[in-house]
């Protein structure tokens, strides 16, 4: 037995509100899918690069300081022999180093010296200079949280760009090279 009393009401008015909320939710969720929560914007962009003075990988008695790189546009590439994604980006860096566009300094992060040297011997060495951050302290200063990370630093010693994750040929051409060209032209 059915008694319907509500057929005077406009049923459309009831359904429209929830439907619009549903659409808005879908749009927000859709936008959320395109974001990568792993990529946290660095607060260090356009700020002076934190100073460091670290021993070199090949000659531990020699140091490289941030000031030594003054006047140059250069890349600081954070890597480790235990880092799987670093293997993925390594050939890209090797190829890029051959083009001689700019100095690439390798920051060997929380690694063992023997492992790091063996790794470079096995896969090739794209770095102008390799420095060692065994305890990860310079890593903290640079806000490193996921290796590999690559910083682009300008002639005045400011961080201009940070790439988190492996450098792919696409990242190199679309993200890094245009910025490098711009900084080198300035």
d(C-alpha 99, C-alpha 118), whole Å: 24
**Residue 134 is a binding residue for other proteins (CB under 8 A):** no
**Residue 32 is a binding residue for other proteins (CB under 8 A):** no
**Residue 30 is a binding residue for other proteins (CB under 8 A):** no
Shortest distance (Å) from residue 109 CB to other proteins: 10
**Residue 44 is a binding residue for other proteins (CB under 8 A):** yes
**Residue 42 is a binding residue for other proteins (CB under 8 A):** yes
Read off the tokens for 79.
């890597």
Q: Among 111, 105, 163, which residue's Cα sits nearest to residue 133? A: 111
Q: Among 182, 160, 148, 131, which residue's Cα sits nearest to residue 48? A: 160
126 versus 139: smaller Cβ distance to other proteins: 139
Looking at 18, 32, 43, 100, which residue binds other proteins (CB under 8 A)?
43
For 175-179, which contacts have Cβ atoms below 8 Å and span 24 or more sequence positions? 176/75, 176/150, 176/152, 177/101, 179/152
Q: Among 66, 60, 95, 58, which residue's Cα sits nearest to residue 159? A: 66
Looking at 1, 31, 35, 186, which residue binds other proteins (CB under 8 A)?
1
The contact set with other proteins (CB under 8 A) reads 1, 3, 5, 8-9, 37-38, 40-44, 110, 135-137, 139-146
């Amino acid at each position: 037995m059915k008694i319907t009393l509500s057929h005077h009401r406009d049923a459309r008015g009831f359904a429209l509100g929830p439907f619009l909320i549903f659409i808005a939710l879908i749009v927000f969720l859709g936008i959320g899918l395109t974001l990568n929560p792993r990529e946290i914007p660095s607060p260090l962009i356009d700020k002076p690069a934190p100073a460091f003075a670290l021993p070199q990988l090949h000659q531990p008695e020699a140091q490289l300081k941030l000031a030594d790189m003054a006047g140059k546009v250069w890349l600081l590439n954070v890597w480790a022999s235990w880092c799987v994604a670093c293997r993925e980006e390594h050939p890209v860096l090797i190829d890029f180093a051959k083009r001689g566009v700019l100095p690439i300094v390798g920051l060997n992060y929380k690694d063992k010296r023997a492992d790091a040297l063996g790794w470079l011997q096995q896969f090739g060495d794209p770095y102008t200079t390799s420095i060692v951050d065994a305890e990860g302290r310079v890593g903290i200063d640079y806000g490193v949280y996921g290796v590999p990370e690559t910083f682009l630093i300008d002639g005045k010693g400011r961080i201009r760009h940070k790439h988190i994750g492996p450098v792919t040929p696409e990242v190199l051409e679309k993200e890094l090279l245009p910025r490098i060209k711009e900084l080198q032209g300035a």
